Structure formats: C-alpha cells, structure tokens
C-alpha cells in the first residue's frame, strides 16, 4: 500500500500583472489585470513506505509547490492526495506529528538563540516524552557531530552547521515521512557529503519515507534509486535513476588511449570532446558505439578504452530543455 497517494493534483494562482510607470500604477487602482499561473497541473504519484524518492525539475517546475501541498502548507485548486491516510490540507494534529518539512532556504530555528532552546520548544509542540527526546537528540547530535554547537546561537553557525541543526529539529519527533526541499543548497562539497551520509544512514536505519528535491545531481545519485521529473507542473518521468539515462540520453562517451606516436583524425567517428594525447574523448551516438569501437580497434594501436554514460547533470539538463521546448511549441 502506498504511503503517499496523489491523484490529479492541481494548484493554480491568480497573479496581478502591473505595468511599468505611474500611469499603469494608477490604472491598477481601478482595473487590475491578472494572469493565471499553473504551478501543478494534474499530477499522479504513488510512493511506497520506506522509499527515498528524488523529485527533480527546473526552477518553477512545481517541485516546492507539490511539497507544500503534501505538507498541508497550501490548499490545492483541485485533485486529491493522502499521506499516511491523512488529507494534508485538513491539517490534523495527528498528521502534523507524523511528518516533517525541511526547506533549505527557510529557517525554523530561533536565529538569536542556541539550537537547544528551539529543540525544547519542538519537544513541547510535539509532546515528545523527556526520555525519548533526550535519546533522540543524543543520537542525532552524535551522528551529525554537532554536540559542541548546541549552546551556540544559531546566527553564529556556518551554513552547513545550521542545516544539520535544521535536520535535527525536523527529526526530533521521529516522523514517518520527511519532505526535503533543497537541503544542501549553498553548501560546500564537504558539507554536502556529510548531509548525504547522514540521510542515507538515517533512512536505512529508520526506514522512513523521504521525498527529496535538489538541483545537485550528486545528492540524487548518492541517495535515490527512484527519480520523478516534473516540468511545467507535469510529471515527465517516473522510474529508476539508471533508466533516466537510458531513456533520455542518445549518446555515450568513449575514451581512447593511443600509442604515444599515433595521432589519428577521429572526427568521422563522433564529436571530439577533448584531445590530451595520447587520450581522446568522443561523443558517439548509442547505436554507433559498437561500429566505432570495432573500427578504432581494427585501424589504430589502442592501449586502453572506456565507454561511459554521459554525466547525469547533462542528461537532466537535456530533459529539461526538451520538455520546455515541447510545451512552448
């Protein structure tokens, strides 16, 4: 049985369109023009208990709006959704105690107070027993290695340290479902890696369900086996991470290492991406890979060869461009 069920979910906004200049401002006092913005356009989605799902899309695709709908922050225009059997926008307290939402660009901790003070407030809000609160906080602070920072005002912490504290605040009441909206945005490589390691370990240990949005493909590759791609409010792909490369990438990258003295012209075989002799990287259509390899091995002295899929970032970017062009046409 699905823990998250979404059927034909839609969210639209009326946005005031104001022209430039004083004349248009005065005109707007008496006659306003509005534009209908469709943030989410009738999506269907099922997520099983214990899944770690990546929710990807370009800016304005509808990712954050969907998470806000599923967490009950906003109401839908039409459609239905249930999370653990609850309708999110009914905002029942029983539901609020079983999920958490972390937004990388929003703070839930008091800026001028130490994080431990905000945690005590969280304890009271969610009614967490003292022994459970202490045990959970000790576990989380140990895993994230932030025990020495609990008494330090949040405003004095680095961005990476603040995100760790935000995760602790979200997990103190041991939710069954966690919505993560860009949790590693703006973090350096080390901080990103630390957050990834923690999320992977915690999800495997607790078997909680996580829906993650991120623009960092390394987050996705490190954490998620399933990927849902949304563009212009519609789901364009729902499947495995490996499947998205197979479906939306029409080429592979071949790396050839030649004998030092051999410098052949390989432009007839594909697009030359780089030449650092004796190594050459080619972009070759998938269907042409066997023929190109056979010809190269037969005609040239090759010491090493490698065939790889294109970087996930390139595949996703290509998919975004393709869907945008399709909707515009």
CATH classification (class only), 2-246: alpha beta
Q: Where are the domains of the chain?
A: 2-246, 250-308
Considering the domain 250-308 in this protein, what is its CATH number? 3.30.70
Tokens describing residue 101? 């939402």
State the pLDDT at residue 161: 93
Q: What is the pTM of this model?
A: 0.84
Q: Which of 121, 244, 246 is nearest to 172 (CA)?
A: 121
What tokens appear for 95 in the block?
């539901």
Whole-angstrom CA distances from 39 to 232, 250, 288 are 7, 30, 40
Sorted by sequence, the CB contacts under 8 Å of residue 107 that are 6+ apart come out as 154, 162, 166
Q: Which tens digits make up the pLDDT trace of 279-309?
A: 899 999 998 999 999 988 888 888 899 999 8
pLDDT of residue 328 exceeding 60 = no
Confidence of residue 327 (pLDDT cuts 50, 70, 90): low
Q: Which of 34-43, 62-71, 276-285, 306-315 has the highest mean pLDDT?
A: 62-71
DSSP per-residue string spanning 78-144: EEEEEETTB-GGG--HHHHTTEEEEETT---S-TTSBHHHHHHHHHHHHT--HHHHHHHHHHHHHHH
The token pair at 128 is: 């967490």
The pLDDT assigned to 277 comes to 79
pLDDT in tens, 101-149: 998 877 889 999 999 999 999 999 999 999 999 999 999 999 999 999 9
Please give the structure tokens belonging to residue 250: 């029409």
pLDDT at 151: 94
């Amino acid at each position: 049985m699905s823990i998250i069920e979404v059927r034909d979910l839609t969210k639209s906004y009326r946005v005031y369109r104001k022209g430039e200049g004083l004349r248009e401002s005065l005109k707007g006092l008496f006659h306003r023009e509005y534009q209908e913005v469709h943030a989410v356009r009738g999506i269907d989605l099922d997520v099983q208990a214990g899944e770690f799902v990546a929710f990807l899309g370009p800016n304005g695709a509808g990712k954050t709006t969907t998470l806000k709908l599923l967490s009950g922050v906003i109401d839908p225009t039409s459609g239905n959704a249930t999370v653990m059997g609850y309708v999110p926008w009914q905002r029942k307290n029983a539901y609020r105690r079983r999920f958490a939402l972390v937004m990388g660009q929003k703070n839930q901790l008091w800026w001028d107070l130490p994080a431990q003070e905000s945690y005590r407030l969280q304890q009271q809000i969610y009614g967490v027993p003292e022994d459970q609160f202490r045990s959970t906080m000790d576990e989380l602070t140990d895993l994230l290695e932030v025990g020495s920072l609990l008494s330090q005002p949040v405003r004095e912490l680095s961005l990476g340290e603040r995100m760790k504290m935000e995760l602790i605040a979200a997990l103190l009441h041991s939710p069954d479902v966690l919505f993560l909206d860009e949790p590693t945005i703006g973090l350096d490589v080390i901080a990103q890696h630390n957050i990834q390691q923690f999320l992977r370990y915690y999800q495997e240990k607790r078997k909680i369900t996580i829906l993650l949005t991120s623009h960092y493909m390394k987050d996705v590759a490190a954490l998620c086996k399933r990927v849902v791609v949304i563009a212009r409010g519609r789901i364009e792909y729902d499947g495995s991470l490996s499947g998205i490369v197979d479906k939306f990438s029409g080429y592979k990258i071949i790396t050839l290492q030649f004998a030092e003295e051999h410098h052949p012209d390989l432009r007839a075989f594909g697009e030359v991406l780089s030449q650092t002799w004796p190594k050459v990287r080619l972009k070759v259509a998938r269907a042409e890979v066997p023929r190109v390899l056979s010809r190269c091995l037969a005609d040239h002295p090759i010491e090493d060869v490698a065939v790889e899929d294109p970087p996930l970032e390139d595949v996703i970017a290509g998919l975004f461009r393709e869907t945008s062009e399709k909707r515009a046409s």
